[in-house]
């Protein structure tokens, strides 16, 4: 289905209802797997914040949340391959069970960097939950414990994902048809 967003044609790939249903399923699986463990959700900013908020509400455990800012895209539609830390964690994660919440894993380079970084902080465990996985662009293998959706090689926006910092607020995930 195509929609018009401020003069841009977008194809809706994942509707709000489909996203919500999958987030609830991921939350149930995470709840089951982390029962009786001290869970810290590490949200990768900025793109994962909407997903992480919905996911946290779907996990009825006494979890804590931390935020980490990483950049590998700038304002482009392709990863530069160079990862910059723009915001670090505010609390130590030593001895805790960490679940990294990411919006999309495509090349895997950012996640590879983040997993290495987290392991140096001595957590009890490190897992990954990504809303989207784009295997067509993957250049390094990274473990993904929870995957919301596997998508084709489209540059997607909405539900936190952006193009030049815009379109994060869309309730659906789609791609621009006329760009």
Residue 2's DSSP bridge partners are: 11
Q: How many CA atoms lie within 13 A of 97 on its CB side?
A: 13
| Annotated catalytic residue, options 103, 106, 145, 152 | 106
Helix or strand (DSSP H, E) at 105:
strand 97-105
With CA atoms as reference, report the closest residue to 151 among 168, 174, 177, 172.
Answer: 174
Say whether 106 is catalytic.
Answer: yes
With CA atoms as reference, report the closest residue to 58 among 34, 93, 38.
Answer: 34
Q: Catalogue the active-site residues.
A: 106
């Amino acid at each position: 289905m195509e929609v018009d967003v401020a003069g841009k044609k977008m194809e809706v790939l994942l509707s709000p209802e489909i996203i919500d249903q999958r987030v609830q399923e991921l939350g149930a699986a995470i709840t089951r797997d982390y029962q009786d463990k001290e869970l810290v959700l590490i949200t990768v900013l900025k793109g994962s914040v909407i997903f992480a908020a919905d996911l946290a509400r779907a996990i009825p455990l006494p979890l804590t949340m931390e935020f980490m800012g990483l950049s590998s895209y700038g304002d482009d539609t392709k990863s530069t391959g160079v990862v910059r830390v723009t915001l670090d964690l505010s609390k130590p994660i030593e001895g805790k069970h960490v679940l990294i919440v990411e919006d999309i894993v495509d090349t895997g380079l950012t996640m590879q960097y983040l997993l290495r970084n987290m392991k140096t902080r001595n957590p009890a465990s490190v897992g990954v939950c990504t809303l989207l996985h784009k295997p067509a662009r993957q250049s390094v293998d990274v473990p993904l414990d929870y995957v919301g959706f596997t998508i084709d090689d489209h540059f997607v926006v909405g539900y936190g994902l952006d193009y030049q910092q815009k379109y994060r607020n869309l309730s659906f995930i789609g791609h621009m048809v006329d760009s």
